[in-house]
Amino acid sequence: MFSIDHLHPMLVHFPIALIMVGFLFDLVSLLIKKEACLSFAGFWLLIIGTLATIVTFFSGVFFTPDMAGTAGMVKNIHATFAVITMLLLIINSLLRIYLKRSNRENSPMKWLSFAIYALAALMVGITGFYGGNLVYNYMMPL
């Protein structure tokens, strides 16, 4: 039977995929300057990935069981990186929306946006590492 404890592990794969592929699209679009389609796709993957991250974050806050001992410490580290990831993605989404609406997508601020996106992609990986540790090393419910 379905348990609500499974909601967070089921949702978490969407923001991981969306953010990582969106970052890859933005990276390639910066390397191939004439490829606007990848930048457009990277923008929408960032926006959708940010929304998925927010939903996934709150599913982790409200629908995962409390943990004690070492598992609790790992969960706290995982949650801290999740907050950092979510904030970076929200900031970058707002920046990208501003750049798009003000027709400044080719301004030097695109490099700031790309740097934030790269940092957020790194944080997604670190957050996922600690989440995977909870599942596989401490046998938390999947």
**pLDDT for 142 beyond 70:** no
Give the domain range for residue 120: 4-59+67-137
**pLDDT for 1 beyond 80:** no
**Residue 38 within any structural domain of the chain:** yes
Q: Which helix (H) or strand (E) holds 50?
A: helix 36-63
pTM of the model: 0.91
pLDDT number for residue 140: 60
**pLDDT for 58 beyond 80:** yes
Determine the average pLDDT of the residues in 51-61: 95
- CA 26 – CA 28 distance, rounded (Å): 5
DSSP state of 66: -
Backbone angles phi, psi at 81, to 5 degrees: -65, -30
Number of separate domains in the chain: 1
- CA 67 – CA 74 distance, rounded (Å): 9
**Residue 142 within any structural domain of the chain:** no
